[in-house]
Amino acid sequence: MNDLKYVVYIAAEPEDVWRIFVTPEGTKAIFFGCVLDSTFEIGAPYAYKGPGNDGDETVHVYGNVLGFEPNRMMSYTEHPGPSYRENHAELETRVTLELEKVGSCTKLMLINDRWPEGHPSYESTQESWPMILSNIKTYAESGKTLDFGW
């Protein structure tokens, strides 16, 4: 399976984009009402929790922090939440995001790799990352989120 790699340029400072990824206000806005629960220490667990199949505290994705440099880089393993896939623990990928100041904007690069053969969420993830990244860009630049009609 191919790595998923995306690059987007955002008219905002890296610190402002970073806050979207790590604060409850930011993650709720861009990840459909979810908050990121983690200490962000290397090896620490994390989970995106929010409204879903199991109520308000549904675990949508979870894993462990692999790398964390505030305002610059975050990397983590990622598993689908238990309510999405019975074999969720076996379905591990890696997500790495990097921020870099370029002129007066921020370059955001996201790579989702290490896909196990036959991962059942590959196609849906391939479609959802552009939506999430577009939402991040819009939110950072305007303070508003996109309406995907859901």
Task: Give the pLDDT mean for 26-35.
Answer: 91
**Strand intervals (E) in 15-147:** 35-38, 45-52, 55-69, 73-80, 93-102, 105-113
Q: Where are the domains of the chain?
A: 4-142
The three-point CA angle 36-93-19 to 5° equals 30
What pTM was estimated for this model as a whole? Answer: 0.93
CATH code, residues 4-142? 3.30.530.20
pLDDT band at 53 (very low <50, low <70, confident <90, very high): confident
The pLDDT, as a whole number, for residue 115 is 97
